[in-house]
Amino acid sequence: KFKNHKLSTYGNHSQNHYVMSSLRDEEQFDEVNAFDDLFSSLEISTSKVFSLPFGGNQDLNMCTISILKELNYSSVLMSRGRLDQRCQSFYGFKAIDRLMPLDGVDKINLGLGYFLSFRKSSQLSN
């Protein structure tokens, strides 16, 4: 059911969505590598972006970082409760933060004032 289209790629989010730092080294490798094994057998465009399950700093460890480097990943998507303004260096990767609501998308309420101040500060820094 995966679609191959020039404007889309698929990224890795692990096989079973476990907290990576709670797994042994070989289990972490298997979680990340299962995606590569599956998608290499399909004619689908993939990216070298790893979307860390749960996305917090505590959800990965140096083993996770080593595995991602070994498998040639370039970026890590994080969920650290903040909006991303610029890509940050994170153990040699581009770290991109995504905003993940705790209670579902319908519960997000940033407020117009927050949005306008964020937009203004972004324009000033450019």
* pLDDT (mean) for 57-67: 94
Judge whether residue 87 has pLDDT over 80. Answer: no
pLDDT tens-digit map of 25-54 = 999 999 999 988 888 888 888 999 999 999
Between 50-59, 87-96, 98-107, 111-120, the lowest mean confidence (pLDDT) is in 111-120
For 10, phi then psi, to 5°, come to -110, 135
Cα–Cα nearest to 12, from 28, 35, 30: 35
For 71: left if phi > 0, alpha if psi spans -120 to 50, otherwise beta; the answer is: alpha
Percent of the chain at pLDDT exceeding 90: 39
pLDDT score of 96? 82
pLDDT score of 113? 47
Average pLDDT, the chain: 80
Q: Where are the beta strands (DSSP E) in the chain?
A: 10-12, 46-51, 75-78, 88-90, 93-97
Pairing of strands 88-90, 93-97: antiparallel
Threshold 0.95, pTM exceeds: no
Cα separation, 81 vs 95, in Å, equals 13
Judge whether residue 101 has pLDDT over 80. Answer: no
